[in-house]
Structure 1
């Protein structure tokens, strides 16, 4: 009877009656979920995946309609059918807790599927995906016994991670290894690892009490555990904070291993973003990922610092030091470190929860109800609360002095930076209220210099502050504090004579020919000043005149292909159209005629133009950089002197750092090296030895780039053919017909533009044999010399258009800010006038779709 019953049960199971299966805490590989899979249910009618998501409160998440699961070997995609816990196919706003639990239902899977991938429809790399989700546990073919698999930590309280033994790979000594052989004698194991032809043997011993000892020397094995050991009394050798002698230029190495990496994810690269506190710039370095999930990249830095890493499975900060290597394990269940900076990174991860930006976000919601002093006090209280949390964590477990120093500085500078934002965020809140037509009776506060008394002399003179993530944020805000800045009296630039005098007053020698031209131009300046004064005095009347006849004004702009139309030209055009003017408009036109050049002035003007032609324009371009430097110097000297006066300082590290940032930024924006005399002046003003020499380093680096650019190819300079109206853009792209065109409106001074250009460079190289053109358009705001120096680094087709051409093009494509991208198909038709920013993977798909 029992036998018959067993057979019946087996038959029922085969028929699916007993096919219910629940997998708690399922295993899976590479994932970019901001959370985890908590459970999978396999029923006779559905596959149900349970999600736990931790995300920014107030932000939205969504389960798209084309969410799917699929056998890792390919085949049919099983589309989601419904959700529980959040809406299906609609945006769900995360609650204050920042946590959400929900289920996604899919059809029942066919028999024989052991692993699946989860994804969201359109292959956008920003969409959530999970790979190698295990449905049927099978004994994975591995040379290594299960008892040895896992991450092994020292048990002395340091929790140093030395060994990662997984089913098919091992991580030892900052490298990924394969198993060659594993031999066992009772509870003693010899593991031979192989990597690029090199062999390494690791010995493991398990004693009678279950203690595990590991090492590469049989006679000197150390005790390890898969569990971390909390020992707040652990003592680290040379446990000291970073000293003031912190600067050193060298390369940092960031390497690691993505556990569970698969090429199916379609991501073979990552990025490391390095913010340079000395220049205020950010450099991006590409991380190439090997097929086994390992990676390694080197980049130059000047001091210990945190960098931001964006790599499959991780978006986080990592602490690095010059001349040292940091190795990171990226895993669903653990973030672990090896190498020179392992201890600091491990400790910083433990301290992360002490620092929170959310408290400040919450505080800003009531900023209209707070006086400056109340806001400052609230920020300082948040800072003290977070510092106390830091102490609590460090009392429960060992934390190195360096990690404590870094996190303490981060917490302090975050608070100080927030205090400096009071006026900015108050104005934003007032604007939001006005936009929503909410009545406001907010009291206006004047911020006195005493508001900034939290800034101390020691803070301004401590060069170790550069290790803090939030230092640059604080310094940037400090540079814009109105109470600590004074506006200088700027020289007049109403005439060429004014410009020449300013240049000479600042030690710039003009040529005899230039002085002669300036003298001749002086005879024309009275007439030019009359026009300038007329436009200034009648600014409102001119604007009303143009707006009263808006359609006609825009038609004339389009016809003349220029944005600025004079009162006289516009009045003459209206007359041809039979338009009558009001009495006020007639008076305006009459006054305009009165300021026109006399016959004698016209004769002088004609003679001047015949002799000097475009030389005045060339004079302006030649000395534009000098004028910018003079104005910048006036502002910075006045501001920094005011800051020194407020704090009673003669020399400060922070002011030197801010001055260096300003000069380095000008160097990058102008893309023109400083002369020797300019360098000497800058170095004289920057007292800190390392910072003073660093501007020379940056200048030499730019010289080397410009020299290398002379032999570069792959870029082409184009000239706009004479065209008006809609013909302008068509004439610019006519030669590229038959190819997809990616148009980038940019400028040499635009940081986001240059970052985007640098980011897209690998994609251009990848698609260089395809029918696609990368077209770059800039205007007169990009100085010609800066532009010509820059474009050899930018492969593609280039235009530098006139001011009127730029205004027409930006109006045509509704360019309200740059960078701005436009997509044109192979027929020369604009298919997307506002393409927006996309990752390289996403943009590649967009371009290929048009081919």
Structure 2
């Protein structure tokens, strides 16, 4: 017995010494720096390096009650070699991991040991769109690398030029510092078109060396929203001139990381030169604290609806005036802003106030929302507030009718708000799909019919037809001749391009409209009538709208997938409603290969209610026997789309 006790004691000591020896060989790298990443969801709290394993201690941050996934194909890559993941601890690989109520979770990912002396490693969670990737993780405790570290922008005071109408191409040249082709970034920009009232979207490629070029047609000096990866910035541009920018991508990634943001800076994020350089550097490197009239949370929105629901017109106007004054006070309290930047911010607040106060229809909307009364139900004992001229006396106090207002993206929306407002408070006769010309009423409110505001309104009324893919008729062409030269030239150019597009669309093929005549089919029978001809084939249904940016982006992303299925038993079915203008819809679908239907409001509402379509884009997959097998809101990504269709085809 005594011998057994001695043996057990010796064994325990050996195990202890063994474990102690292993621990002595383990090296911990706390919150290692990295140079770039594809997502803010996974953060590395620490890495344990030993002779037996490489262990990543992960903290995950994501929306509560939504899932994330780490696939079993995850690898580490270092010095040209790949190290596949061995196991997960606290997470099951390739299975959905549901985030808790806190939106935070922790787990470990275990990989093979890395060779001693390895200085950096890449974390690659597969190659599908949306995969988690972290590049150049520093294992030696060194900070992230940035070739722009230490560089400084010149100390220049921005000067705000008064914009003039002058159509031309604004050129933006950029370079993403320390870019690698494996980042796989593509870029998109959005510019607010004051003439059409739309948002012009443009896409560009990032070259292997990180450079890119964009040429943006503009009617006047304005700004675009530039986005690629985690790069999101506002860039002021001028027609006929060039703006250049160097982008400190490692610093942008560092600032977004919960683990790295408090570590030493790698320098400023953006380095602009050329047109508007000083303003762009200030706006993007030293942005003002947000000031907004709109609710900033769901709780604020609910309270706003509750407050507005019982207001009369004067109370409604005073409500938004108070919110404007509060936002302005916050702006006034901010120091260090240039006068140019402060002027732009104040101008945005003024235009935002005008738009909100010009929307008293919100009172009825709030009343219905709070009392849970459907929009199409008749209101009993409710007197709808109808404003007249006197209500709008605030407009000339906050709209300056100055070209400086062209800098604001809100200006495009303001023009529409003015065009659609019935200042008289009386019912007006309108032609089908035509907005009555209320220029005289706007002039009465403003006290003048001259200035940039009226030049832009005249152009907007004519551009509205072109935007809906309707070339200008003879009467409209005569009106175009009466606009200022710059707007006239822009309108005629748009009109010529539209007519050319219409002629080109006539030659296109690969799309079918109304294979089934749905005009007289009852709503409850419609979907079956549309899909029955495709029995024996898999049907991919896309609920979309012509005005929906994400819908169009998803269509572009899905084009390569559709090409992969050419000749296969798959049908791509696109359903839109009457809120997609007919002319626009007719001219867009020639570029969208597939089967197309534009339903009435009643048909669209019935089908959306039947399948739970609460927004666009939404998608459905129908099996060969006509059974819906999948539905989701929002695009699933091209890789997932292909995987799901292949799975359905193989059944």
Same fold (TM over 0.5): yes
1:701 to 497, 522, 527: 497
CA 51–657 in structure 1, closer or farther in 2 if over 3 Å, else same = farther
Paired position in structure 2 for 1:490: 429
Deviations 1:140-198 (A, max 9, x none): 9xxxxx9x9543435xxxx24xxxxxxxxxxxxxxxxxxxxxxxxxxxxxxxxxxxxxx
2:143 and 2:99 map into 1 onto residues whose CA distance is: 40
**Paired residues for 1:423-462 under 5 Å:** 424=362, 426-427=363-364, 429-435=366-372, 452-456=392-396, 459-462=399-402
Paired residue total = 582
Q: 1:308/1:740 Cα in 2 relative to 1: closer, same or farther (>3 Å)? A: farther
> Structure 1 residue 283 and structure 2 residue 192: aligned?
no
Higher fraction of helix: 1
- Name the SS for the 2:449 alignment partner: coil
Identify unmatched segments of 5+ residues in structure 1: 1-9, 95-101, 141-145, 161-233, 437-441, 492-626
Check 1:103–1:28 CA distance in 2 against 1; reply closer, same or farther (3 A cut): farther
**Cα offset, 1:29, TM superposition:** 1.9
Query: Is the Cα contact below 8 Å between 1:26 and 1:40 reproduced in 2?
Result: no
- How far apart are the structure 2 equivalents of 1:286 and 1:782? 23
**Is the 1:301–1:322 Cα contact (8 Å) retained in structure 2?**
yes
| Structure-1 separation of matches of 2:167 and 2:326 | 34
1:241 counterpart = 2:160? yes
Q: Could you tell me how far 1:21 is from its partner in structure 2?
A: 1.4
Equivalent of residue 336 in structure 1, options 266, 270, 281: 270
Distance 1:784 1:389, change over 3 A: closer
Does residue 628 (structure 1) correspond to residue 545 (structure 2)? The answer is no
Q: Deviations over 1:220-261 (max 9, x none)?
A: xxxxxxxxxxxxxx555xx53221425333243353326454
Partner of 1:104: 106
Alignment pair present for 1:649 and 2:448: yes
C-alpha separation in 2, matches of 1:305 and 1:33: 31
SS in structure 2 of the partner of residue 382 of structure 1? helix
- Distance of 1:89 and 1:378 partners within structure 2: 42
In structure 1, the partner of 2:265 is none
Could you tell me how far apart the structure 2 residues matched to 1:486 and 1:713 are? Answer: 48
- The separation in 1 between residues aligned to 2:526 and 2:398, in whole angstroms, is 59
CA contact (8 A) 2:67 2:98 kept: yes
Whether the aligned pair in 1 keeps the contact of 2:541 and 2:619 (CA below 8 Å) is yes
- After TM superposition, the structure 1 = structure 2 runs for residues 292-371 of structure 1, keeping only pairs within 5 Å, are 292-323=209-240, 324-334=242-252, 335-340=269-274, 341-357=276-292, 360-361=295-296, 366-367=303-304, 368-369=306-307, 371=315
Residue equivalent to 1:42: 48
Query: How far apart are the structure 2 equivalents of 1:716 and 1:794?
Result: 10
C-alpha contact 1:460 1:652 (8 A) present in aligned 2: no
Which residue is equivalent to 1:549?
none
The 3-state SS of whatever aligns with 1:751 is coil
Aligned-pair distance for 1:348? 0.4
Distance (Å, rounded) in 1 between the aligned partners of 2:283 and 2:331: 14
Q: Does 1:673 align with 2:471?
A: yes
Indicate conservation of the 8 Å contact 2:167/2:490, yes or no: no
SS of the residue 2:108 aligns to: strand
**Cα drift, residue 835 of structure 1:** 5.6
Larger Rg: 1
CA distance in 2, matches of 1:103, 1:814: 31
The 1:327/1:803 distance shift into structure 2, 3 A limit, reads closer
For the residue of structure 2 that corresponds to 1:393, the secondary structure is coil
- 2:224, 2:55 → 1: CA distance? 41
Contact 1:307 / 1:319 at 8 angstroms: preserved in 2?
yes
Return the alpha-carbon distance in structure 2 between the equivalents of residues 802 and 411 of structure 1. 38
Partners in 2 of 1:842 and 1:728 — Cα distance?
Answer: 29
Is residue 566 of structure 2 the alignment partner of residue 767 of structure 1?
Answer: no
Whole-Å separation in 1 of the counterparts to 2:511 and 2:54: 56
Moved more, 296-305 or 793-802: 793-802
Structure-2 separation of matches of 1:468 and 1:286: 22
TM-superposition CA deviations, 1:105-133 (whole Å, max 9, x none) = 304543217555568899562x7653343
Which range moved further: 246-255 or 274-283? 246-255
Higher relative contact order (CA 8 A, sep 6+): 2
Q: Distance in 2 between matches of 1:659 and 1:51?
A: 56
Cα distance in 2 between the residues matched to 1:381 and 1:724: 54
Does 1:793 find its partner at 2:597? no
In the superposition, relative to structure 1, how do residues 17 and 93 fare at CA in structure 2: closer, same or farther (>3 Å)?
closer
Q: Provide the rounded CA distance (Å) in 2 between the counterparts of 1:410 and 1:837.
A: 33
The 1:758–1:17 alpha-carbon spacing in structure 2 relative to 1, beyond 3 Å, is closer
Tell me whether 1:271 sits opposite 2:188 in the alignment.
yes
Following the alignment from structure 1 to structure 2, what is the Cα–Cα distance between the partners of residues 676 and 17? 87
Aligned counterpart, 1:393: 336
The answer to whether the 8 Å contact 1:742/1:824 transfers is yes
SS of equivalent residue, structure 1 residue 490 = coil
* Secondary structure of the structure 1 residue equivalent to 2:336: helix
Aligned equivalents of 1:818, 1:779: Cα separation in 2: 11
Does structure 1 residue 76 correspond to structure 2 residue 85?
Answer: yes
- C-alpha distance 281-90 of structure 1, shift in aligned 2 (>3 A): same
1:467 to 398, 407, 411: 407
Shift of the alpha carbon at 1:705?
1.0
**Residue 351 of structure 1 contacts residue 393 of structure 1 at CA under 8 Å; is this kept in 2?**
no
Residues 32 and 141 of structure 2 are in contact (CA less than 8 Å); yes or no, is this contact kept in structure 1?
no
Q: 1:29 aligns with which of 19, 28, 36?
A: 36
Query: Alignment partner for residue 413 of structure 1, among 351, 355, 362?
Result: 351
RMSD (Å), alpha carbons: 4.8
Q: How does 1:86-105 map to 2 (within 5 A)?
A: 89-92=98-101, 104-105=106-107
Q: Distance in 2 between matches of 1:815 and 1:105?
A: 35
TM-score normalised to structure 2 length:
0.73
- In 2: Cα distance, 1:432 partner to 1:727 partner: 31
Preserved CA contact (<8 Å) 1:387 1:411: no
Residue 324 (structure 2) pairs with residue 380 (structure 1): yes
Is the Cα–Cα contact under 8 Å of residues 31 and 332 in structure 1 kept in the other structure? no
